[in-house]
Chain A
């Protein structure tokens, strides 16, 4: 099990201090909105740690904390800051028109309107092995628990959309073969690039802008009221996967990393997500809106929020690399070059 991370400010200190002891009263903690609620290091580490109690937990942390009312109250206040930040960032956005039969077109319009720089083009043509390693370290925050945040939606859906979600998730979890679980393929790629693939090993090095991309999924997944948004998030995630993953795989081969372990994760996603994107956009997202028309706005918001946070994340990586430094937080251990 991973260790609790080093705190980065008042919120994450408060959270890690609490979790270091047995469940007890949670003091009133002042939660003020940071300058950047979509990327703040302290806010997003605190939220990430609180969400992680619902996934794999931490070494030495009492598992009863997961449902401690005081701690959930603190989490709700952090979530409110994050949610307000999201709404503010999307306030100028006009959702495309959509209904159950045009959901695929509306989601595509959101993707087409996305003007974020292309990380996959950069890695394919110019990426170094060190860039690839950083990329994998960032992505490990999600990819080592790939599909889990969207699985929270399963008990919130019924009928055809539930079956369609499971159709996608079945593949994500390897179709019954543990060696083909996508999180395992990702771990294999990390090891092939000489990285530590232990769950949570790199948490101290991940900036808030990266943690926010995972917190977004946990926020949408863990709240039933956001079931439309987690479905929209998944649909756009699948729709923006085949092409970039093909590029990542070609870049790795260009760098001479041709082993199956290095490339299988990316190769698998080229063809798997060419299937998933249709199932997720048409049958899952469209199917959900057919049953619950009132959710159409949330589905689109989930997709747009994904594009927004992924864009900020990609800009962070490319900006750091263009300036010639690491996109990860500094650490004494320099855990990346294992």
Chain B
């Protein structure tokens, strides 16, 4: 883990993992309670536990690369 700040990794066909230190807040600035040192944020939009991933991306067969998508041609 880097000591400078949070490290965010999109996992293939899955969530964004955020490794601390970080603070998670809603748009009103209220802190969202976090249980683990590392969290998984949903990026497929289908989780029942947003903003966290609950594994539903797998049932949905959702696909996305880990690397950034190339810019449009």
Whether B17 contacts A243 by the Cβ 8 Å rule is: no
Instruction: Count B interface residues, CB 8 Å.
Output: 20
Closest to A242 in B: B55
Whether B55 contacts A278 by the Cβ 8 Å rule is: no
Whether B40 contacts A271 by the Cβ 8 Å rule is: yes
A175 within 8 Å of B (CB atoms): yes
Known: A275-B17, A278-B11. A270 touches B54 (CB 8 A): yes
B68 within 8 Å of A (CB atoms): no
Residue-by-residue, is A245-282 near B (CB-CB < 8 Å gives 1, otherwise 0)?
A: 01000000000000000000000101111110111001
Closest to A278 in B: B11
CA distance A154 to B37 in the complex (A): 20
Instruction: Count A interface residues, CB 8 Å.
Output: 22
Closest to B36 in A: A171
Give the residue among A175, A242, A268, A278 with the most B Cβ atoms within 10 A.
Answer: A278
Closest to B10 in A: A278
A85 to chain B, nearest CB (A): 31
Closest to B9 in A: A278
- A residues near B (Cβ < 8 Å) are 104-105, 167, 170-171, 175, 180, 241-243, 246, 268, 270-275, 277-279, 282
- B residues near A (Cβ < 8 Å) are 11-12, 14-15, 17, 35-40, 48-49, 52-56, 58-59
